[in-house]
Amino acid sequence: MDGSAPPSAPSSAQVLIIGYGSPIRGDDAIGPLVADRLARDGVPAGVTVLSRHILTAELVADLIERDRVIFLDAAVAGAPGTVRCQRLHPDAHAISTMAHFLDPRELLAWCETLYGRVPETYLVTVTGASFDYDHYRLTPQAEAAIPPMLELIRALMLGTASEQAGCHGGDRPVGQDPAARV
């Protein structure tokens, strides 16, 4: 834990939200599904929403232009339906062996090494109950986690996430999520 509170973003903060995961692996679709819902419902000016199957290298060019980045993903650790928020930091050791999928911390390390700046970054996850083959359909546990997840994302978007939201974590590892790599 680094103990520092997330800085409040000015209203002009440029925010990027990236939901990622496989649309055909059950609850792994929650990242892109929630991103799509945010985009459909509308986001404040200065907020951009992307929906991705996987994270790829060229996203670095999008990250460095933003003040704050929020990744949305499914997780395998914990009780199904648990919403978790982590502060992410660059990690050059999180190098993927498959070049078509990058860990978000590796993307941040690219930003740091190449551009000398890293956006304030969070990872919001929901623990999935099933990662079996299913097209854009979530389990009831994951579905029920969407409203609190959206609430948390909106708070992060505006820079008003509370200490209780758990977004102040320092270097807690991001769970290796094999389902997200499909």
Smallest gap from residue 112 Cβ to another protein (A): 10
Binding window for another protein (CB under 8 A); candidates: 37-45, 55-63, 67-75, 140-148: 55-63
Closest to another protein by CB, 77 vs 95, is 95
The radius of gyration of the chain's CA atoms, rounded to the nearest angstrom, is 15
Q: Is 127 within 8 Å of 76 (Cβ atoms)?
A: yes
Is residue 61 a contact residue for another protein (CB under 8 A)? yes
The alpha-helical segments, DSSP class H, found in the chain are 30-41, 59-63, 104-115, 140-158
Is residue 58 a contact residue for another protein (CB under 8 A)? yes
The contact mask relative to another protein for 92-121 (x = CB under 8 A, - = no) is x--x-xxxxx-------xx--xx-------
User: What amino acid occupies position 72?
Assistant: L
Three-state secondary structure string covering 91-135: CCCCCCCCCCCCCHHHHHHHHHHHHCCCCEEEEEEEECCCCCCEC
User: What six digits make up the tokens of 112?
Assistant: 């740091």
Binding window for another protein (CB under 8 A); candidates: 1-9, 56-64, 152-160, 164-172: 56-64
Is residue 163 a contact residue for another protein (CB under 8 A)? no
CA torsion sign for 40, 42, 45, 46 is negative
Smallest gap from residue 57 Cβ to another protein (A): 6
Closest to another protein by CB, 73 vs 84, is 73
**Which residues contact another protein (rule: CB under 8 A)?**
24, 51-54, 56-58, 60-61, 92, 95, 97-101, 109-110, 113-114, 181
